[in-house]
Amino acid sequence: MLVSAPSKRGNARHQSDEHLEELARLADTAGAIVVGRLTQALDRPHPATYLGSGKVEELKLRINELGATLVLFDDELTPAQGKNVEAIVGTRVMDRAELILDIFATRARSSEARMQVELAQLQYLLPRLTRMWTHLEKFRGGIGVRGPGETQLETDRRLIQHRIRVLKERLADVERAREVQREGRKSHYRVALVGYTNAGKSSILRQMANDVQVFVEDRLFATLDPLTREVDVGDGYTVLLTDTVGFIRKLPHHLVASFRATLSEAKEADLLLHVIDASHPVWEEQRDVVDGVLADLGLADQPKLYIMNKMDLLPPDEAEAVRERVANLIPNSLFVSAIEPGGLDGLRASLLDSLRRQRPVLEVRLPAANGRMIAEMHRDGEVLDQRTDEDVIVLRARLDDRTIGRLRQAGARITVIRGVERVKAPVAPAEVF
Report the binding-site residues for GTP.
195-202, 221-225, 243-246, 309-312
Strand locations in 235-375 (E): 237-243, 271-277, 304-309, 334-335, 361-367
Pick from 292, 250, 293: nearest CA to 22: 250
**Alpha carbon of 362 to those of 259, 314, 390, 400, 421: distances in Å?**
40, 45, 20, 11, 9
Strand partners, 418: 361
Residue 173: exposed, middle, or buried by beta-carbon count in 10 A (0-12, 13-18, 19+)?
Answer: exposed
Instruction: Check if the beta carbon of residue 147 is closer than 8 Å to that of residue 96.
Output: no
Strand partners, 334: 307
**H or E stretch including 388?**
strand 382-389
Q: What is the dihedral of CA 358, 363, 366, 370, to 10 degrees?
A: 50
Annotated binding residues for Mg(2+): 202, 223
Instruction: Check if the beta carbon of residue 404 is closer than 8 Å to that of residue 382.
Output: no
Instruction: Check if the beta carbon of residue 208 is closer than 8 Å to that of residue 275.
Output: no
User: What DSSP designation does 247 have?
Assistant: B
CA distance 63 to 51: 15
User: What DSSP designation does 302 have?
Assistant: S
